[in-house]
Every structure is written in C-alpha cells, then in structure tokens.
Structure 1
Amino acid sequence: MAAAHVSMPGTTDTNLAFADYSLYSNLSDDELMQLAIKRSIADAHNSGSGTENSKTPIALNRPAARRRAPPSHRPQQQPELAACPANPPRETINPQDVSSVSHFVTGYGKRIVAYRKYDGSVQVAPEPEEELEPIAKAISEGDVGSVRLLVKQPGCNLLKPNKDGWMPLHEAAYYGQDQCIKILLRAQPGIINQRTLKEQTALMIAVVREHLACVECLLENRADPDIINKERETPLYKACEKESPAMVAMLLNYGASVNKSCIQGWTALHESVCRNNVEICEMLVNAGANVSMPNMYGITPIFVAAQSGKVDALRMLLKNGADLNSQAADGATALYEACKNGHENIVEFLLSQNADANKPGKTGQLPIHIAAQRGNDSIISMLIPATSKARVRRSGISPLHLAAERNRNDILEVLIEAGFDVNATLSEGRSMMYEDRRSTALYFAVMNNNIDATTMLLKVGANPNLDTFNPLLVALRQGCIQTVTLLVEHGANVNANIPTHPTTFPASVMFCIEYLTLLKYLMDNGCDALSCFNCVYGSNPHPPIKTRHNPRYDPDEAVEKTCIQFCEVISTENFSRWAGPIIDMLLDYVGHVKLCARLIEHLDSYHEWQCVKEKAKPPRPLMQLCRLKIRQLLGINRLKKIHKLPVPPRLIKFLNHQERERDF
C-alpha cells in the first residue's frame, strides 16, 4: 500500500527526528497527498518569497540527491528544539514497525517520504538527502581538472552507484560534460554500457538530454546504440522523439538497429511519422526501416500518419511502398481512421491514391459509417462516389441509421440526396442490440424527437410501419402531437399493437390515454374504438387485476401470454381518475355497445359521470349510427378530403365529430 508524505510548515531543522502523526492514521493515500501539498504551500508562504523551491528545477529521470537546492539556499543548522507539548512526541523510526514507505514530490519541489506503520499510524517528513560523492560533485560543476585528479586517487570507485544506480559516467552524460566522459572512460573503459536502476545507459541519458557532443563521444568509445531502457526504448527511438536529425544520423552511422520496437511495438519510424518529421523519416527509411511494420495492435506507420493527420509523412510513406489499405488488429484502415478523426485533407489524399472505401472493419462498418456518425458532411461527400451501396447493405447497417441516431440532419440530407435507401433496416444481429428491436432510421429520428429528421425521411418515402415497435407508439408515449400528426399523415398504423405485449385493443390507445387530444386525433383517423368495449367477462364480476411481472427479470413467472383488456388498463391508478372522460370520448366513435361490470363500476364512482353511463345505454341515437355508417362507407382517406366536396360545412363538422365546436 502506498502512503503519502507531508512536510510540516515552519520546520527548518533537518536534524530533527521524525514525528509520529498518528492522527492521520485513518486518512487514505490520496488524502495524505492532498494534505502534503497543502502543508507544502503553507510552508512556502511562511518562508517568505518561496524561491527556494520554485527556482530549483526538477529533472526527469535524475537521481534524488542532485535535485536539492544550492548550498546558499539551504537552511542553516540550528540546535535541536524541544518538542512542543501540543504535538505528538517524536520517536526514531524502527524499520520493523513500518508496513510501507512512499515517496513523492510536492508542487514546490519538496521530496517527501511517508512511513505507514502496522498499527495504522503514519509518519511524514522531508526525505533525507544523499550526500554527493566528490567526483559526482566535480562533474556537476564542470570541474574537469578535479575530475582528472580524483580518478587517479586510490579510493575513487567509478563503479560505485548511488541509490538510483547512477555512476559518475551517467552524471557526466546528464550534465553534458563530454571531457569528463573521456577521462572516465580512459580510467575505466568497462563502464561504457552500465545501466541505472531504470536501465538507462549513459548514451540513453545523453540522447534524452540532447547533448550531441556526449553522444558522439560515447559512440566513438563503442557504446552499444541498441541497449534498451525499462520501456524497451532505444536511443534511436528517443532521438526521434526529440526530433534531432543530427543525433539520428549519428546513431545510424554507428549501426543503431532501425527496426527495434518498444514495449508496445512502436518503432522509431512510428514515432517520427507521428511527429510529421519527414527528414528523419527519410533517414530511417534509407537506413532500412520497414514502412509496413505493425505494432502490437497491428498499427503501421501509414495508419499513424492518417490517424494524426500528417499528410507529408503519409506521402513519403506511400512513395516508399507502404501498403495503403493495411488494416489494424480491429480491421480499421488508414482511410477509416482519417474519417474517424475528421482529417479532410488526408481523406482526400487517400481517395486520390485509390484507397479502398469498401473495406470493412471487424464491426462490419465502412469509412462512410464512421463519417456519418461523426458528422462531417465534407468527408461524406467525398466518400459517397467511392462507396458501394451493395456493400453498405451487406454491412447490416446504413449510414442513415448512424446519422439519425446522432441527430446529424445535414448528413442525413446529403445521404438522402445521394440515393441511400430510407427504408433500409438493421440486420437482425444489430437490431437485437436494442431492447425495442428498432430497425429503421425513422425510428431513431422519432425516438430522438427530431422533427426535422422525421419530416425529411417521411417526405422521401420512409415507411412508418416497418419496426416491431411502431414509431407512432414512441411519438404517442412522448406526447408530441407534431410527430404523431406527421406519422399518421404518412400512413402510420393508428391501430398498432406490440407483439411482445398483446392487447385486445390498439396499443396506440394505451399510450395516449392521458392525452385526450391525441386520443381524439387517433379516433378521427380510424382508430378502433369498438375493441375497447369488448370484454370477455361482460356483466359478470371481474377477477382481481394481477400484477404482471416481466419474465425477463422473473424467471419463475409463467410464460403464458394473455391479452390485456381495456378495462384492466383504465383501472390502473394512473388512469382510473380519467375513466369518465375517456369512455365518453370513445362512445362517440361506436354504435351499440354494452359496458362491462368494471367500466360501470368506474362510472358509478363519480356522480358527474352518470351522464356518460346514460349515454352508453341502448339504443344509440340514429344520428350517431348514421355518422358511423357514412364514415365507414367513405373511409378515412376520403374523409380527409371531404372539405373539397360540395357538402354543407355543418355536415362536414358532424362527420368529423366537430359539431360541438363553435364558429368564430
């Protein structure tokens, strides 16, 4: 378990013993680190200007002992202070009592160590600094004369590492002291390829620090240019990372292996392509770099160029024989990645080089699919001529689906104009990924309540009745009368049902019971009201309504499917209080009916609903029966155009159940 380390504000005596702050024992590691940062900030404010830490650079991959402040800034030694009675007592750390130790650096550059004991208590203090060896100090100060004298002394051990595994040669490479490197190698040639605890050679350190003279000196003394560090990176890889053509050329001249890969299979060429450094790329290729070498994910350099939008590197790779249509482990091509990342110039260049726009990935999707999903109309326009509509059909999904799903109305318009099938359905496997088994682009548009996309699709012939769960039911559930009107006007089935949840009446009625305006609109457009009064129990007592569980979540539930009746739905708590007005509206669209016992029970529950009960008693008025017969003979389509016929306006209103409306 890692622990955090806190430096205490106002503490300047480096000889003080560690303090046991057991009150932090219940803090997590992250909380301890936050506390350390806060106290470090407080310490900086208490010290005045705070320049001690803010002006001391912290170099990556450097030993801890060399990151301390200059001697002129170090706190002076003070006599040991007596412990403050308000603080916990100080004690010496016993290694056997410590369960874990953690080191980190605060935002002000202070190196912190925390000791967590087995009893849960935590001790925090500044990390003790390692004393520099005389030769290391001379190297850091660039004192070549002292280095020359020290290597001749009998007690000078050039092979002795510090706690980070750094030897004097590593120090010289870090500080760029090429003269010191020559002195050290003359005295001890065998240390040339020694590595630190992070497995860095002096050559690797010199490359990372960009000390060209040191790199040349080490290579001349036969430093191995192919020794890798802990991440399996070579000096050549690091030189490409630093974008230094001079170092790259030098390493290649001394035989550096050009195709060595790091821990993830990334080569020097991958790195140079990613940085669009054509000069280094050409040097690597001329030295024998494999332009089609994949990393552990199957990503080749050309894939990297397309992914990151590096058109110059891409041209160079193609000129040198890179495979334009190579695929990564997930089947993606360079063209697919360029579309995914919105690099229009790369897409245009790849298509000009005859890149295959019909090569699917493992998901079956083509470049046009990802472009539609990301919403780049310029890329879509470039891909349409190069994409096979037959190949799109075989993929089991249309780019129209993805554009509608993401509300990409501009892409939807471009695809429709290009002739993509607006009634294309998802393959069975893709449809099953959705609980409602959706299959059309229209369903996606309605589900998103995207009226513009819905209008666009319906206008060009989208069929609103292809999905298992009719889009009209979705619009009714959302209560969007504009979408409902659009769907009904374009032929949506107002008597739609749900195959997985059978009812004795249209499911569309069930979804708009609480919206009387929508219910009336459906009835005016041919919804079957008569089926709402067909009850298997009639005037007989109804059994109690059973709570219906979903067999998907209740495996013990019987699989037998029974049709739900209208009187059961209207008896639910949400709808029972609306039973009177709902039954009253439905009676306007039926002839002779007999209310079942449950509906009568509802009407009897409110005195105001007695008129509805009387309305249902036979015989129904002759005018009502005539209206129903005329509507049946004319049909819904002709009724919608009845205002164009030479018929009295009052009769038109009567046939459309508008006789109660006033003329203004």
Structure 2
Amino acid sequence: MDDLEQDSINQELIEFALQESIQDLNKSAKTSSTEPHSEAFTKIMAAIRRGDSCALQQQAARPSAYRERDSRGRLPLHVAAPRPQPDVLRAVLQGTASAHLTLEVQTGEGDTPLTLAVAAGLVDNVKILLGHGASPHNTNSRNESPLLIGCTQELSAWLKGPSSDDKGGTAVRQRSYDMVLTLLMGGAFVEQVCWTKWTATHEAAKVGCADVLTQLLRHGAKVNSRDGHGVTPLAIAAEHGNTEALDVLIQHGGDVNAQATNGDSVLYDAAGSGNLDTVELLLQHGADPNVASFAFQLPIHRASYEGHILVLRTLIPITSERAIHLSGQDPIHSATDGGQVECLRLLIQEGRDVNALLGTHISENYGDLRKTPLFFAISNGDVTCAKLLLAAGARTELDPLRCILVAVRAERHDLVQLLLSYGADVNCYFRVISNTLFPTALQYCLSDHIMMRLLLNSGYQAYKCFQCFHGDDRGMDSRWIDLRNRVYQIYSQPDVITFCEFVSVSWLTHLVGGTVRTLLDYVSYVSICPKLRRILKMGPEWEEISDILSKPRTLQHLCRLAIRGNMSLTTLNDPRAMAAVPLPPTLQNYVTFRSFSQHTDLTK
C-alpha cells in the first residue's frame, strides 16, 4: 500500500470519527422544539433579535434557557451566530458556557454555529467562535465544511448582485479572502471534502477567486485533486471560464490534459464555456485538442454544439482529421444538432463535408440509426440549418430512414416542401416496420389531408395503392397490365403488405374513404379489390367514389398524367425548373395540380 492510499484511508477514518462524535453530541444536546418555552428563553431570543447585549448578560445566570430550542430546532447560540453583532454573540457564548453546551451542537437542519456564521459571511463572528474552541472541521448536514462554505460565499454574494458602493465586487472578494484565511489560520483542513468529494479548491476555482485559490494552495491544497466524478479544480475553472483562477492553478502544476471519469478533458470543458481567453491559455500550456471523451466528443464538437464561434475558429486549424475520423462524427453534425447556424455556416465555408456520415459506433446510439447532418436538422425541425445544408449540397437519401419520411411523420409541411424541392424521393421505402407495396410516406399522413396532397402533387405513385390480387384484372389500365408480372413477383412474398390490407385495421377504416377519394385524382382507371370495396361501402364517400369508377376518365386528366409521367420528379418539384418548362401558366398550374384549393392553403 503506497503513502497516497494510506493518507486517503486515514482521512476517511478521521471524517467518520468526526461525524460519529457530532451525532453523539447532538443526541445528548437536542431537546424537543415542541416543549413550551420558558420566560427566560423568550427574553433571550428577543434580546438577540434587538441586538441587546446588556440584556443577554443579565440572563447569563439562566443556563437552562440556553438549552431550549425554537420551532426550527435552534438554540440561542444558533440564532446569534449569523447576526452581525459580535457583542451579542459573546454574551450568548457566556450563557452557553454556563449551560455546559458544546459549540458543535447542530440545528434541526444540521448546521453548527460556525457554519451559520461562515454562511452569513461574518468574519468577526467566525473569529470569536474559533477563539472559543469551535472546530473548523465539523460539517453541516450536507457534509460541507466551514472552509467549503466560505469559498462559496463569494459566488452567492455575486449572484445577488454587487452593492452600489462595491461595483467591482472588491469588498465581496476581500470578505471571501479574509474568511478563508481566518479558517485556515484556525486549523481548517484544506483537503476536507463533502459527500461528492468536492473540496474548497474546487469551489474557489468555480467562483474564480484567484486570491483565495492561492491561499488554499499555499496551505497544502492539492492542485490535481478530484471530486466524485474525477473532475479537477482546473477543469472546474475552465468550465466556468475563470481564466485568472485557471492561470493560478496552471502555475501551481495543474494538469492541462487531465480527464474526468467520463473522459471529458479540461480543454473540452473550456470549449463549453465559450471563453476564448481560457481556451487560448490552455493551448499555450500544451492542452491537446485531439483528446476525445469516452463519448467520442472532441473540444471542437463541444464548441460547435454550444455555438461558440470564436472558440470554433481557434480549434478548426489545430484539430486533426484523424481525431475527427476516430470520433465518428463531424463538427457539422454537432453544429446542426445544436441548431447553431453561424457555426454551421463557418464549418461549411471551411470546407467541411455536409454529407459526412456518423460512424457506426455513434449511429447505433440512435434508435433511427441516423447518419447525416441533414437528418439532425430535419429531426429537430430546424428549417434554417436544413436550408444551409441543402444549399451546400447535402443529399437526402443517405440515411436508413429517409429525411422526408421524418418530416412527413412530424407533420412539417415546410420541411417536406423544402426536401422535395432539392430532389428528395417521395416514393422511397422504409420496410423495417411495415414492408408495404406502396411507398412508405402515405402511411404517415392518412389523417393529414394537406400533407397527402403535397406528396401526391409531388409525384407520389398513387397507383401502387390499388395493386393487389384480391380480384380479377378485367378493365385494368395499360400501366397495371405492364407492371402485373413485376408486381406479382413482389406480392408473392408473404410479408409484403398491400394498401387494402394496411388500411383494413379497425383504427384506420374511418380514413379509408377520404384517402381513396383523394388518390383517385392522381390515377387513370383503377379497379377496387373486393377487400377494399367492403371497407369503402361503409363510408359516406362510397357514392362519389363509385360514380368516378363507373365513368371513363377525362382526356384532359389522362393527358395531365401522361405529361407528369414524362417529367422527372426533380423538375416537377423545383419551382425554378418548372418555370423554365415551355408551357403556358394555366397549363403548368393544371399539370402541377395547383387547381386544388388544398395546395393553395399550403402555400399560404
């Protein structure tokens, strides 16, 4: 066993012994707060609140009153300790001594007189208590030592806001420094920890008080001590962007490449703070930007996700491509996931690949097995980032679950329209859940009539919804006859689901009539199989559907389908490409189904 392990064991034994002694003292000293208070106790408490030390001296001969507690389990000593009247505290200490009470007795909430005085920021009271024998080692109910609480005071005071006569916070810092120095001179153990192994050095690094930090280090604080998560004070200072405190720690031997239990490096934490001075200071002292966390995150990923563009500019040229490749994700993924438009724009300008794919070890952490930055943008509903990526050449078909299907399922008409305008395949399939004969997108919008129209207007293959073998093939149109053999090969597989089978479940039958009526606007002649016909006859739309099926389709409609069939989906869905098509505006509107009021509502 080495000296470090022995010191750690000895420290834990000391802390355990201290806690046990405090509990024993509390058991013997506490009395029920529900007991009726004596007249002397009432007078003592009133005198403390008035700040009347003379009246308290007159009650010093009433030791039993000093053992009584108020409704919060506080003795007179607990009430006097956090009040800014040192004379009152001295008078109460005289009465406490006559009552033979220890100075380590706790309130009902677990605070000692010393921790209360420290929490109140009263240096004079702390000196008085230490002078009367109060222990600087005993903690409150959260196992926080007086020294740790003293380091916290500056942060608490600063959060409340500096007073009008202390605009720079100098007085706050001086009080914190004096408090810490008083406790250290009173014998406080500088490496004492709370339940999470958080030390006073960690707290001083978090607050950013360089003077306090210097005093702690001079009194033996370990610059590379770790809390319960393996985080060093250096990482805490970096995380909160406290450059001055960081510099003090580095000068005293702080490890700039230390990693926490989860692998987060000091530079990673600094990148998250967004403080460029902190990042540059670490880099000047040898911090490695290519060290990844155990979650495969690099500092450049953190800066991209958080939107710290100045830090990102600094990290881009010094982060190696090998480190990014091994991490399994590009900074573009992080910027897109965080919705950081400016960072994304910068990364694109720097030549990062907008079609970079997540590594398998990262992609598998997502249930949808996403791969591309574009998927993050669509999944987050981020139109701005999606436009940036698409304009820079992002492809829409690289993810196992296509981006357009995610947008359809999320009922994001704007994203669907955007993806279609950049060539997304409206007729793509995702067969992991439902292996359908018809393109997948329709099953996500059966109850969204506007979305359905948008897909159909954009070239969705509506005729595939009428392909099945539940009836004969008399009266089929030529397209169906030509495809019959190929479709049969697909349908002969027992796991392929046709449209009539998909909508035959009880929770979808009420949508079938409206869906079929809409689909008929986008096909020539089709036959309705007996299975689908039985469902349709139960709905109010059957009469209109039956009327359409019983009559020949108009030549005008058939010509529209023929024209659309000879146009690519890219041209059909790109307004600029359609504008170049040599057709009169009226005919263009007819071919693109703009005559439907639903499409007009969508564009509005």
Q: 2:241 aligns with which of 309, 326, 332?
A: 309
**Letter paired with 1:606:** E
Q: How does 1:506-525 map to 2 (within 5 A)?
A: 506-510=439-443, 514-515=449-450, 517-523=453-459
Please name the residue that 1:131 is paired with.
Answer: 40
Q: 1:563 aligns with which of 477, 493, 496?
A: 496
Please name the residue that 1:474 is paired with.
Answer: 406
- C-alpha distance 205-488 of structure 1, shift in aligned 2 (>3 A): closer
Q: How does 1:34-113 map to 2 (within 5 A)?
A: none
Larger Rg: 1
Distance 1:240 1:622 in 2: 83
Distance 1:211 1:447 in 2: 53
Is 1:196 matched with 2:133?
no
Q: 1:365 aligns with which of 297, 322, 329?
A: 297
Alignment check: 8 A CA contact 1:178 1:213 kept: no
2:357 is paired with a residue whose SS is coil
Please name the residue that 1:458 is paired with.
Answer: 390
What is the number of residues matched between the two proteins?
503
Please name the residue that 1:404 is paired with.
Answer: 336
- C-alpha distance 102-535 of structure 1, shift in aligned 2 (>3 A): farther
Distance 1:246 1:505 in 2: 76
Shift in Å, 1:477: 4.7
Please name the residue that 1:268 is paired with.
Answer: 200
Distance 2:77 2:337 in 1: 63
Q: 1:386 aligns with which of 310, 313, 318?
A: 318
Distance 2:499 2:93 in 1: 98
Shift in Å, 1:407: 3.2
- C-alpha distance 272-532 of structure 1, shift in aligned 2 (>3 A): closer
**Letter paired with 1:369:** H
Distance 1:219 1:373 in 2: 49
Shift in Å, 1:336: 2.8
Q: Deviations over 1:226-250 (max 9, x none)?
A: 4445444444444444544345444
Distance 2:330 2:190 in 1: 44
Please name the residue that 2:469 is paired with.
Answer: 536
Please name the residue that 1:245 is paired with.
Answer: 177
In percent, how many aligned pairs have the same letter?
28
- C-alpha distance 366-129 of structure 1, shift in aligned 2 (>3 A): farther
- C-alpha distance 653-347 of structure 1, shift in aligned 2 (>3 A): same
Is 1:505 matched with 2:438?
yes
**Letter paired with 1:293:** S
Alignment check: 8 A CA contact 1:265 1:295 kept: yes
Shift in Å, 1:643: 8.9
Alignment check: 8 A CA contact 1:376 1:411 kept: yes
Q: Deviations over 1:320-370 (max 9, x none)?
A: 111122233333333333333444443343344443333333333233333
Is 1:324 matched with 2:267?
no
Structure-2-length-normalised TM-score: 0.66
Structure 1, gaps ≥5 residues long: 1-100, 104-112, 116-126, 542-559
Structure 2, gaps ≥5 residues long: 1-30, 154-174, 475-492, 596-604
Distance 1:299 1:587 in 2: 69
Structure-1-length-normalised TM-score: 0.60
Please name the residue that 1:579 is paired with.
Answer: 516
Shift in Å, 1:465: 1.0
Alignment check: 8 A CA contact 2:63 2:98 kept: no
Distance 2:548 2:500 in 1: 19
Q: How does 1:265-304 map to 2 (within 5 A)?
A: 265-304=197-236
Q: Deviations over 1:460-509 (max 9, x none)?
A: 22221122222223344566666445434544333211213111222245
Q: Deviations over 1:255-295 (max 9, x none)?
A: 44322223432323233333322222212212221111122
**Letter paired with 2:353:** D
Alignment check: 8 A CA contact 2:64 2:99 kept: no
Distance 2:542 2:128 in 1: 102
**Letter paired with 2:243:** V
RMSD over aligned CA atoms reads 5.2
- C-alpha distance 469-626 of structure 1, shift in aligned 2 (>3 A): closer
1:615 is paired with a residue whose SS is coil
- C-alpha distance 180-447 of structure 1, shift in aligned 2 (>3 A): closer
Residues 369-378 or 606-615, more deviating: 606-615
Alignment check: 8 A CA contact 2:263 2:292 kept: yes
2:552 is paired with a residue whose SS is helix
Give the structure with the larger helix fraction.
2
**Letter paired with 2:339:** N
Residues 459-468 or 175-184, more deviating: 175-184
